[in-house]
Chain A
Amino acid sequence: MLTVTAVETALSYILTVTDGTKEQTYQYEWGKEPPEGQTLTEYLQSCKREAELLARWEIDQKAAPTPIQI
């Protein structure tokens, strides 16, 4: 289960993804200006989704190697 929290600094939005099962955190930073055509809410929702995807990706990359038949 991943949970996402966010803080705003003068320079960026910092999103922290916490992996509740392993109590690990993954932190990502986004620029403050939403892309053209996106509201701030839409932008932050997009950032949240990407943060979750990136954290899940990092978790998956750490998985132990599995034996294969050769």
Chain B
Amino acid sequence: MNSKRIVVNGHLVPPGGLSNIYAPSKMYKEDGSEVNTADMVEALYGAFIVSKNAGVDAKLTGSDAADAQSSGLIPGMGFNGTTYDRWRNNAEGTLLVPAVRSTNTTSPLQTNHNAKGVMLHVNITAAPNSASTLIIWIRAIDPVANSGNFGVMATLITAAGSTLQSGTIQRIVLYPGASASPAIANFLLVSAPLPRRWDCYVNHNGTGNWEYSVGYSLIL
């Protein structure tokens, strides 16, 4: 039996503490031993899982499975409607690696856990000609239609010869309240939130080889 599960009047200590539970003069763990101060501190502020199902109590470490847990964590887990995910800090990653591409390209689907917005970093290192353009889409995935085509949120046209030049890292910021004024060079700002599922779609307008990468920074 795990000694760190704390029961008060037959109820597990819930996420957030004891404020809604009648506090008796003594409290006991499931093994029958009395709760001490260290147990309370760990229960209220430490990071271990409390579950109505037996056998789940454990401290979380960096190597543990992060998401889709069947039980909540104190603190730092968010309920996604089905399971619990880790609460994230600002995070970053790669959508499309640096490579030569000649056709429309879609990034893998991304899951936004708790960020409000995102900054895309579009680094174009080679363009086929000055007439061709790339259109960068941040697509919100519609949970009903399960498609991004109905949820286009931001577009950027960039090409050699256009306002945003090839050879410079372009940034697209999608964040509630983001303002395009005053203008920032090589930034496109759009005021909108980032949904849970999203991806990036690059539309090649014209023929020829482009070389580019797309990275992202999720912003709380």
Contacts and interface: CB of A to CB of B under 8 A. Distances in A.
Interface of A: 10-12, 28-33, 35-38, 42-43, 46-47, 50-51, 53-54, 56-57
Interface of B: 94, 96-97, 99, 103-109, 141, 146-149, 199, 201, 203
Contacts, number: 57
Contact of A38 (B103, B109, B149): B103
Contact of A28 (B99, B105, B108): B108
Given A42-B103, A54-B97, A57-B94, A33 B108 contact: no
Given A50-B96, A54-B94, A32 B105 contact: no
Nearest to B94: A57
| Chain A residues touching B, majority SS | mixed
Given A31-B147, A33-B147, A37-B104, 11 more contacts: A12-B109, A28-B108, A30-B199, A35-B203, A36-B203, A38-B103, A38-B104, A42-B103, A46-B104, A56-B97, A57-B94
A37 B149 CA distance: 13
A50 B103 CA distance: 12
Given A28-B108, A30-B108, A53 B99 contact: yes
Contacts of A51: 108
Nearest to A61: B94
Given A31-B199, A35-B203, A57-B94, A50 B146 contact: no
A35 B109 contact: no
Contacts of A42: 103
A31 B203 contact: no
B147 A29 contact: no
Contact of B146 (A11, A37, A46): A11
A10 B65 CA distance: 24
26 contacts: A12-B109, A29-B108, A30-B109, A31-B106, A31-B141, A31-B147, A31-B148, A32-B146, A32-B147, A33-B146, A33-B147, A35-B201, A35-B203, A36-B149, A36-B203, A38-B104, A42-B103, A46-B105, A50-B96, A50-B97, A50-B105, A50-B108, A51-B108, A54-B94, A54-B108, A57-B97
